[in-house]
Chain A
Amino acid sequence: MDPYKLLGVPKNSSQEEIRKAYRDLAKKYHPDLNPGDKKAEEQFKLIGVANDLLSDPEKRARFDRGEIDIHGQEQGFANGAGYRHYADGTQGFRYNQHAGNSQFSEEDLQNIFSMFGAGASGEGFTQQSNPFGPRHGQDKRYTLEIDFLDAVNGAKSRITLPGGGTLDVKIPLGIEDGQVLRLRGKGDPGIKNAPPGDALITVHIRPHPHFKKEGRNIRLNCSVPLKTAVLGGKLNVMTPQGEVSLNIPPHSDTGSILRLRGRGFPAKGTLQAGDLYVQLQVSIGKVDKALEDFLRNQPDGNQ
């Protein structure tokens, strides 16, 4: 419906002309002047709508540009919006423009994240747009097994590459099992002077015979002589960071746990350093006559 036609005015008419045309028509079709005339009532409503639209310069401009219809509804691509309802719904999967799986594959996620990564360094996005232009080299993936103590303390390690050559890798202290290190520029070379890809190194930590990792903490079993356990005293304990002298309180027993604060995995980023938990294991050692006699004189059942 065209509000100009409804009011009977040309498109380029002034606000004054529109107001005048509306008033004339409103008088003509006013329900009070045409009691019981349904058609007149209908017409009266329509010219009201037309006047509302045309008397508001902003709405009138939008209507003239075809952005809204006479009722102020957004125009254009009505069926596009109808289709969107379904395309964004569950049936939308049926027109997935993607091979296979409708959910994210690992590759999809990788691509998204490399977009973020590349975006941050000011490249990316445009990179993919021209398949014949310069291209980043491919990233290469490697795995590296490291010793438990190297994971705690950090180390330098070297990977021998399948095609010969080596890669020196600096293991940051406190690295986690499965963490991936990125060596910038150590992947495949780029095409047409584009920067090379990166080497991605997944780090696996070899288990240690004594130290057990629990989150950022480390557990350790340590045997303590009977005498030290009963009377208390010093005990030298090998921690991942080296030997320390531990104060054993009197009346310690097998299973007693002592905590060495900050002797676990070192602090990393926002993570605090873990602790080392030393679980004592009383070792009786060589038994002499005196101990035998002492125990013999103990009443049974008093352990």
Chain B
Amino acid sequence: MITLETLCLNLPEVTSADIQSWIQNQWLKPEKKEDNYLFYEIDEARARLILDLRDNLGISEDAMSLVLNLIDQLYTTRRQMKYLCEVISTDHYPDSRQKLRQLMDEFIINGL
């Protein structure tokens, strides 16, 4: 994890005011420790993504929230799909597997 200062050093194109406003908009969600922010690798990658969207793809500030929200939804869905595939193809989640089986029964019974 890195501090705000280090993040700004890693990203010469942004100011700390930029980062602050991104946090305010909830585009970035670093961990807060006392008065300092701590950024994970994903936060830095996300900051680069925001920069790319803003500077190279011309996404305006208004549209950015929407774009990030859609991206987050997409990754959440990807994660769920992956989880679902794992529930189906492995024995790692017996409880969910059971639940899934019930639901499948429920929908398959339509054929009766």
Contact = CB atoms under 8 A, between A and B. Distances in A.
A176 to B, nearest CB: 8
Given A104-B83, A104-B96, A91 B78 contact: no
Contacts of B112: 172, 181
A113 B105 contact: no
Q: Which of under 10, 10 to 19, 20 to 34, or 35 or more describes the interface residues of A? A: 35 or more
A95 B46 contact: yes
A179 B69 contact: no
B100 A86 contact: no
A88 interface: yes
B112 to A, nearest CB: 5
B68 to A, nearest CB: 8
A140 interface: no
Contacts of B45: 79, 82-83, 85-87
Given A80-B52, A83-B46, A110 B103 contact: yes
A175 B92 CA distance: 29
A125 interface: no
Interface in B48-63: 48-49, 51-52
The majority secondary structure among interface residues of chain A is helix
A35 to B, nearest CB: 41
A77 B83 contact: no
Given A80-B52, A181-B109, A88 B78 contact: yes
Interface centre among B42, B102, B104 (most CB of A within 10 A): B42
Interface string A55-99: 000000000000000000000011110111111110111111110
Given A85-B45, A89-B42, A95-B42, A178 B103 contact: no
Interface in A93-113: 93-98, 102-104, 106, 108-110, 112-113
B75 A95 contact: yes
A77 B51 CA distance: 11
The majority secondary structure among interface residues of chain B is helix
B69 to A, nearest CB: 6
B11 to A, nearest CB: 11
A212 interface: no
A204 interface: no
A92 B75 contact: yes
A254 B72 CA distance: 67
Contacts of A85: 45
Given A94-B29, A97-B72, A104-B83, A113 B48 contact: no
A98 B79 CA distance: 12
A78 B49 CA distance: 9
A113 to B, nearest CB: 5
Contact of B52 (A77, A92, A113, A200): A77
Given A78-B52, A87-B45, 9 more contacts: A83-B46, A96-B79, A98-B76, A104-B83, A104-B96, A110-B103, A179-B105, A180-B105, A182-B109
Interface of B: 29, 40-42, 45-46, 48-49, 51-52, 69, 71-73, 75-76, 78-80, 82-84, 96, 99-100, 102-107, 109-110, 112
**Minimum-distance CB pairs A-B, first 9:** A97-B72, A86-B42, A91-B42, A79-B52, A180-B106, A83-B49, A87-B75, A97-B73, A79-B48
9 contacts: A79-B48, A79-B49, A83-B48, A94-B29, A102-B79, A109-B84, A109-B103, A180-B109, A182-B110
Interface of A: 77-80, 82-89, 91-98, 102-104, 106, 108-110, 112-114, 116-117, 172, 178-182, 184, 200
